[in-house]
Amino acid sequence: MLQDMILGDDDSFHAETEKRFARPNFHVVVGHYNGNLPQEKKKNLTKEQLNTNEYSPIEGWGEGGRAVHLSPEQHKLSEETFAVNQFNLYISDRISMNRSLPDIRKPACRNITYPANLPNTSVIIVYHNEAYSTLLRTVWSVINRSPSRYLAEIILVDDFSDRDFLKYPTFDNSLKELPIDVKILRAKERVGLIRARMMGAQEATGEVLTFLDSHCECTSGWLEPLLSRIKENRKVVPCPIIDIISDRTFQYQKGIELFRGGFNWNLQFRWYSMPSNMAKQHLVTPTAPIESPTMAGGLFSIERKYFEELGEYDSGMDIWGGENIEMSFRIWQCGGRVEILPCSHVGHIFRKSSPHDFPGKSSGNVLNSNLLRVAEVWMDEWKYLFYKIAPPHRMRSFADVSERVELRKKLNCKPFRWYLQDVFKDHFLPTPKDRFGRMFAENNSTVCLAWAMRRSGIRTASITACLQIFIDSAQYCIAFRPGDTGPKNQRLLGSSCTMGFDLWQLWLYTGDRRIRTDEHLCLSAITSVHKHSEHVIQLKECAGFDNEYWDYKPQLHDASGNLAYTVQVRAISIVSYCNQETVFYSRDYTLASESSHRCAHAGSCSANKCQTTKVDDDLPELSNEAKAAPGFTRCQEACGNPACGCFFCSPGCIFHRVYARPTSTTSYEVFRCPTWSTAIDAEVQINEGKTWRVELRDGLPLKIPQTNLTITGTGFSIPPIPLHGAAFIRSHPAHHDETPAFAFTQTAQDQCHCRSTGTQMRCTCGFFSMKAIVNNRQLPVNTHGFRFETQGNRVQSRMTSSSVVTLHLTADRFRAVQDNAICKATFLNITGCLPGAKLAVRCTASRTVNAVLRCPNDWLGYLRCSAEGTVKQLEFHSDFPNVTLNCSLQCGSTTTFIGSVLV
């Protein structure tokens, strides 16, 4: 173990990383679109500045996509209005709407001949308080660089702009100068990007819908590749290469083609490099479509009828945020494809921050709600990882996504597991073979391995103390030696662990033994150029080099590094137990009724008696059977004249009661589960020996039998589902609670329809059968991701999909004892051959003792060594012959080495 390994970034690392990450083409988000201008951003801007159109082009400015450089005086003026749109409005207003752009396509793209009968398209552009110059430059670029036969229409959707120059009739009159008619749709209130785009789609007549942001510039030949690809396959949703228009100088810069869309653990869109095999294929066929797991969402085309069949946008989403991820999942999982076309280029102004905010809402709440819908509908069991990482999303009120779930069923969409296995193969979401979470220091559980963004976009990692995570090529581990000297940027810094999940402290240890972040970066140990005995730990783009592979062992060591235990924990399922609260008891019954007529001032029929009668009044006019049974009593004014046998000509009373008559002796208890207690059903195996079945409760330590080990699970995450709030019914035999079950029977007043004949009430009543309800809705019930069942006399829900929990393992009263036993091991016979050879090893010792055997291919196990010798079978797999097996056997204070060759 190298105790003084350096973790940091030397000069060579900076130089290389700046090239990789600080490039102007490595942008993260496309098309940020919000709402009203926040007060703090416009406090220094006058109303006149916001509402004045300063468009006044200067000949030659920005032509050919060249940058515009300002004098100090001009720069000062430009800074005054930069916050209006978060780009250089001064320069934009002085660049022609028809400025020329370079043809940046590859020569091979320019030589492609497209079919003449391509479908036409409606170009939909949504804007809110967009700058006049950028909006019209977007429109003019579409007109100038799109064949007219393919351009069915341009639709502008105004999402309730309040700028004077964008209002009717000023803006409408300016569009009359355009060579084609442009439709303008205006929302009567702020509806947001998602609903505004749907407004445009509903008005569109073109065969294809093409969505653009309101600050774009289309280049030569941008449209034909999109339409041609849709003609080839109507279920392809093609996107152009997104070039960069500088927010400061308006220079047009070519985008990089070796990136495709993905997402991180927070479901935020990210650009990631292509996998190496895809990148190599792209070099061979540079004009071929590039499969993209997600799209940026600002710029794409889709066949109009396919857009409708697919369910358009999710109307339950608000404003913007997450709709591109949702649509990408939906397209891929429901039989479509998202592709980036290298021969289509559209420029986009990338802004470092948005000039707008969400109208009357918190941007975080809106985004949380939108992403919750994405996870609930499309991510299956992986949604629990999202809930674990982003607790605010889980805390949102449960959204009704039933309509979108039904759409998924209707479209016969594939599971999210398929999406990860077939579309986003290089994803970094945990799978059953992976480990996920924090990496704690060995002697301090309050500090974790963490990574941070440093200058120029460089990522670095930090840690304190040694982690038992070794690099594959040598016995080097991530370590920290107090008092390290040297440059500050080469020292290890401790990162305090946060109470919740912090993305900077989360790592994925994959099944192929790499340690990754959600930015497709791998932890790598690079030999220092200054000192070969030291290694620099870097976060670099995963490339499959040897220095990216690490060795993790689930072991407990003492402070000296001696092995104490090897612990294997297998989580079987997460179980939630109902904390029962009885609502009422009941039995099967029919409803009967009886009535009694009284003249005024006779019996209980006093003045205003019917107005004061309660449902449970004990009236002598009613029989004891009716009063003893559950039911309700009523009084209704009735005939009181001599024709009814009454002396007074005052209204009489009809007292009547509807009551229950039991039809069975079985009693039923109706209860709810206001809270659920969650536990993990797991198996724990110590030293590859006996296995214990345990139940872990959230935050409660559990001692493992026959050991001094305590295991604690934390962070159990169960999202709310409607069935958790359902009522449950339990039947009891006849002798159990028979009296209260009848006394607390619930009778509904609307189960009987009664009418008066003048002197009596005639009622038609139904019957109530708990038995029928119980028989038709028996547990167990399987619902999305859960199985509801009974265990003994309690109800529980068992999660049938994956989730993420944190396990803490501690050893009490641990004492390291030096063992002087001497062991010796030899290899015996080999059976089988490549792949799957079995090798027997015999271990003898001066006395019976446990030994640790380590062999290649990540094999580790325990041997029981004895004086007479103990034999254990090992199994090895290899794709190549002549494999040298160099194993070590540690027993007591001795370590011996044994070897063999697998031919």
Task: Give residue 888's pLDDT.
Answer: 75
User: What stretches of 311-418 show up as alpha helix (H) in DSSP?
Assistant: 323-333, 363-378, 383-389, 391-394, 402-410, 416-418
CA distance 384 to 805: 10
pLDDT at 716 over 80: no
Mean pLDDT for the chain overall: 75
pLDDT at 803: 63
- Rounded to whole angstroms, the Cα distance separating 126 from 131 reads 13
757: left (phi over 0), alpha (psi -120 to 50) or beta: alpha
Residue 319 has pLDDT above 90, yes or no: no
Distance in angstroms (rounded) separating the CA atoms of residues 554 and 207: 58
Question: Per-residue confidence at 339, pLDDT binned at 50, 70, 90?
Answer: very high
Q: What is the 3-state secondary structure (H, E, C) of 72-88?
A: HHHHHHHHHHHHHHCCC
> In which residue are the tokens 């999109």 written?
226
Mean pLDDT of 35-46: 50
Return the pLDDT at 672.
84
Domain boundaries, the chain: 39-394, 431-553, 555-592+660-815, 823-902
Q: Is the pLDDT of residue 213 over 80?
A: yes
* Least-confidence region, from 271-275, 480-484, 577-581, 747-751: 480-484
In this prediction, residues 116-141 reach a mean pLDDT of 95
User: pLDDT at residue 228 above 80?
Assistant: yes
DSSP state string for 125-169? EEESS--HHHHHHHHHHHHHTS-GGGEEEEEEEE-S---GGGSTT
Whether the pLDDT of residue 383 is over 90: the answer is: no
pLDDT at 301 over 80: yes
Crossing angle for the helix pair 363-378 and 402-410, to the nearest 10 degrees: 40
Kindly state the average pLDDT of the residues 664-673.
81
Question: How confident is the model over 684-708, as pLDDT tens digits?
Answer: 877 667 788 888 877 778 877 777 7
Angle between helices 323-333 and 363-378 (to 10 degrees): 10
pLDDT band at 328 (very low <50, low <70, confident <90, very high): very high
Q: Which residues contact 798 (CB under 8 A, 6 or more apart)?
A: 573, 574, 575, 576, 681, 786, 787, 788, 789
Select, from the ranges 22-36, 289-303, 460-474, the one with the highest average predicted confidence (pLDDT): 289-303
Using alpha carbons only, how large is the chain's radius of gyration in Å?
A: 37
Tell me what pLDDT residue 878 has.
Answer: 56
Q: Is residue 229 predicted with pLDDT exceeding 50?
A: yes
- Above 90 in pLDDT, residue 454? no
Top pLDDT among 378 and 845 is at 378
Q: Retrieve residue 597's tokens.
A: 């007529």
> Who wins on pLDDT, 393 or 240?
240
Q: pLDDT tens for residues 54-73?
A: 899 999 999 999 999 999 99
Is 327 strand, coil or helix?
helix
> What is the predicted pLDDT for the residue at 551?
54
Distances in Å between the Cα of 289 and the Cα atoms of 199, 334, 337, 469, 696 are 30, 20, 11, 40, 50
How many residues belong to the chain?
903
Q: Return the CATH class of domain 823-902.
A: mainly beta
pLDDT at 252: 95
pLDDT attached to residue 766 = 72
DSSP one-letter code for 815: -
Structure-block tokens of residue 750: 């609307």
pLDDT in tens, 554-565: 544 444 444 556
- Domain 39-394, classified CATH 3.40.50.2300, yes or no: no
Span 355-359, average pLDDT: 63
Q: What percent of the chain has pLDDT over 90?
A: 25
39-394 matches 431-553 in fold: no
Give mean pLDDT, residues 833-856.
Answer: 71
What is the mean predicted confidence (pLDDT) over 710-725? 68
Least trusted range by pLDDT, from 29-33, 588-592, 757-761: 29-33
* Highest mean predicted confidence (pLDDT) among 409-418, 461-470, 744-753: 409-418
**Confidence class for position 352, pLDDT limits 50, 70, 90:** confident
Given a contact cutoff of 8 angstroms between Cβ atoms, the answer to whether 536 and 8 are in contact is yes
Q: What's the mean pLDDT in 173-189? A: 91
Between 761 and 559, name the one with better pLDDT.
Answer: 761
SS3 667: strand
Distance of alpha carbon 475 from alpha carbon 473, whole angstroms: 7
State yes or no: pLDDT of 679 exceeds 90: no
411-432: pLDDT as tens digits: 999 999 999 989 988 776 766 5
What is the C-alpha separation between 751 and 593, in angstroms, rounded?
Answer: 12
pLDDT of 32 over the 50 cut: no
**Residues facing residue 19 across a β-bridge:** none
Per the listing, tokens 């959230």 go with 698
Q: Is the pLDDT confidence value at 783 over 80?
A: no
**Residue 502 in this model has a pLDDT that exceeds 90:** no
Strand partners, 587: 667
Rounded Cα distance, 839 and 886, in Å: 13
Rounded CA separation 671/777 (Å): 15
Which segments of 350-493 are extended strands (E)?
Answer: 435-437, 440-441, 444-448, 450-453, 459-462, 469-471
Helix/strand/coil for 481: coil
What pLDDT does 903 receive? 56
Q: How confident is the model at residue 364 (pLDDT cuts 50, 70, 90)?
A: low
Which of 2.40.128, 1.10.10, 2.80.10, 1.10.3470 is the CATH number of 431-553? 2.80.10
pLDDT at site 241? 94
Most confident of 281-290, 548-557, 825-834, 884-893: 281-290
Predicted local confidence at residue 73, as pLDDT? 92
Residues of the chain with pLDDT > 70, as a percent, come to 66
User: pLDDT tens for residues 575-632?
Assistant: 888 888 888 777 778 888 898 988 888 888 888 888 888 888 889 989 988 888 888 8
- Comparing 216 with 667, the larger pLDDT belongs to 216
Task: Looking at mean pLDDT, say which of 482-491, 493-502, 504-513 comes out highest.
Answer: 504-513
DSSP E strands in 528-651: the ranges are 535-541, 550-552, 555-557, 563-598, 631-638
> Model pTM?
0.56
CA distance 487 to 452: 18
pLDDT (0 to 100) of residue 723:
67
- How confident is the model at residue 266, as a pLDDT? 74
CB–CB of 901/885 below 8 Å?
A: yes
Q: Cα–Cα distance between 628 and 689 in angstroms, integer?
A: 65
- Non-local (6+) Cβ contacts of 823 within 8 A are 843, 844, 845, 846, 849, 851, 865, 889, 891, 892, 894, 896
Of residues 406 and 372, more confidence is placed in 406
pLDDT band (50, 70, 90) for residue 103:
very high
Least confident of 51-65, 441-455, 473-487, 844-858: 473-487
- pLDDT higher than 90, residue 521: no
Q: How many C-beta atoms surround the C-beta of residue 350 within 10 A?
A: 22
Please check the confidence at residue 856 and state whether its pLDDT lies above 80: no
Q: In the predicted model, what is the mean pLDDT of residues 441-451?
A: 48
Report yes or no: 42 and 83 within 8 Å, Cβ to Cβ.
yes
